[in-house]
Structure 1
Amino acid sequence: MFNKEDAFHGVMAAVALVAVLYTRRGLQQGLQEMRWRLTIHSLTVRDTYGSPVQLQSFSGQVMLIVNIASKCGLTSSQYDGLRQLMEEYEERGLSILNFPCNQFGGQMPESDGQEMLDHLRKEGANIGHLFAKIDVKGAQADPLYKLLTRQQPDIEWNFVKFLVDRRGNVYKRYGAELEPVALAHDIELLLADASE
């Protein structure tokens, strides 16, 4: 026998379910959009001694973010190129952020802190800001690298470079073997962009 009350409750349950699913979908889309709006400036990293550094402190500067290694075949030329970029552009607003990484053949065995600083001094590598050793790929990747690699996920080797504009948005990614001085044109463009 047809019961109007049961039918009404059934319709109301269906409406409620549709409303819940619609709301859930909207929340998921909103969360995804928020993730895409994140900038580098919204993150905090650790320096080589473990102290927190808010990347907001680099707001208004062009950043070059690099995963460095001490024992890689690319180390000498990359350090030299990064040093040249520092000398040329630091006073105009370029900051180079170096993140040691030991994920590629164990080529960054130095410990954070004094041992890392001693290595850079020995190499004459005045290459910018030094941060704590991190993972740049895989499940344990640092949140910074998760953000940097969201469009091209895999870091292939040491010395992959990311150029970030003054607002904290990733401008471009450069492969490991590209010499840092090859970024000069793009750095000039970002430094000259008055809208930032």
Structure 2
Amino acid sequence: MIYNYKVKDTNGEMASLDEYKGKVLLVVNTATGCGFTPQYEGLQKLYDKYKDRGFEILDFPCNQFFNQAPGDDEEIKSFCTLNYGTTFRRFSKIDVNGEGADPVYKYLRTEAPEADEDDKSKELYDFLSSKGFNTSGDEIKWNFTKFLIDKDGKIVKRFAPTVEPEKIEKEIEKLL
């Protein structure tokens, strides 16, 4: 269960995810220099709309995809706040794939090995494959992969990076 994990926050302190019990969560691996970075705007709109009803976004910056999340935690926080006005919770930068993957992402990948995709997903995955990225199996394929988790801590769906936040809104409403 996701509540069993602890993650490092941007202050270097360990935070237990059990503080999110009873809330609907959207967990996202992000990057500040990615073509999908403008999704921060849509994520913030969702957060603003639903935070008072028990919705939280957990942001995990990741630099594993073409080094698109450079900088330290403070630089990433400043970028997101200044450019997108983000106020949802951001954690310390992590790896989501490989031997050094954060345990919470190993869990998410195991519990939801495949993403709900849209028309743009195949195009992205074909491009990534041509560049040598693994686009099969449970690995996170790219920045802005999203995991929707219900109030009981169960993973409901995994969404491909190309699925924009506003397209997840109906799913969130159902869970709230």
- What is the correspondence of 1:132-171 to structure 2 with a 5 Å cutoff? 132-150=92-110, 151-152=112-113, 153-171=138-156
Residues 69 and 76 in structure 2, CA contact (< 8 A), matched pair in contact too: no
Q: What is the match of residue 83 of structure 2?
A: 123
Could you say what secondary structure the match of 1:63 adopts? strand
CA RMSD, 1 decimal: 1.0
- Return the alpha-carbon distance in structure 2 between the equivalents of residues 188 and 51 of structure 1: 32
Distance apart, 1:168 and its partner CA: 1.1
Higher RCO (CA < 8 A, seq sep 6+): 2
Higher helix share: 1
Q: How many residues align?
A: 151
Separation in 1, partners of 2:25, 2:13: 20
- What's the TM-score once normalised by structure 2's chain length? 0.83
Partner of 2:30: 68
Unaligned runs of 5+ in 2: 114-137
Correspondence 1:45 to 2:30: no
Q: Take 1:80 and 1:119, find their aligned partners in 2: how far apart are those partners?
A: 13
Deviation at 1:127, TM superposition (A): 4.8
Q: Can you give the 5+ residue segments of structure 1 that lack an aligned partner in the other structure?
A: 1-38, 192-196
Match of 1:59 among 14, 21, 27: 21
Determine the structure 1 residue equivalent to 2:160.
Answer: 175
After TM superposition, the runs of 4+ consecutive aligned structure 1 residues lying more than 2 A away are: none
SS of 1:162's equivalent in the other structure is strand
What percent of counterpart residues are identical?
42
Between structure 1 and structure 2, the one with the greater Rg is 1
Q: Contact 1:96–1:127 (CA<8 Å) still a contact in 2?
A: no
